Amino acid sequence: MVNERCCRGDWAEPKTRASRAPVGISAALFDRIQQLRGLTVVNREGVGTYRVAKADGPRDLIFQGVKGGRAMRDNNILCRHIKPAGRKLGLGFVNWRCLRTSRATWAIEAGANPKDVQGMMRHANIKTTLDIYAQFVPESQFRAQERVDAMVAARIGKQQAARTAIQ
């Protein structure tokens, strides 16, 4: 459960009740977080090592700054890690908003229930999820139409089979 939020170094209450809700994660992500908690890295000078997670209790931050385990600033994470990874993948411009938009769009495109996506995004209102974050994907529209066509064909096939069985 998230009881506090940190934005640009300022701690505050979560904005909405939905923001306090637990966030489900996959087993693979849980395992990766556990690995990060025990990770030790060599410092820049190559002289010493340090633990990435300064504290790894159940109430400690998952992502901690290397000095003292304080909250990492979102802009530092974006500039030092996210943007370089995006460039390496050939994505061009990447920011927090486009990552959230991609997450919502991909989840819906993969067939997730929009209410589940609202919960994943921790939005208080589903309109925020659907009208702001989920984007129109033409290929998804074509796949949806193909599923409707297949459903109609299956129902027609069942009706024809039922008629044949009666005769």
- Report pLDDT for 94: 93
**Residue 3, domain extent:** 1-72
- Report pLDDT for 87: 94
- Report pLDDT for 9: 62
Q: Are 77 and 63 in contact (CB under 8 A)?
A: yes
Q: Are 121 and 129 in contact (CB under 8 A)?
A: yes
Domain count, the chain: 1
DSSP per residue over 9-20, as a string?
A: TEEE--SSTGGG
Does residue 58 belong to any structural domain of this protein? yes
* Dist. CA 74–CA 13, nearest whole Å: 17
Average predicted confidence (pLDDT) for the chain: 85
List pLDDT tens digits, range 9-18: 667 777 777 7
List pLDDT tens digits, range 69-125: 777 888 888 998 899 999 999 988 899 999 999 999 999 999 899 999 998 898 999
Does residue 40 belong to any structural domain of this protein? yes
Question: Please, where are the H alpha helices in 38-136?
Answer: 74-77, 83-88, 96-109, 114-121, 126-127
- Report pLDDT for 5: 65
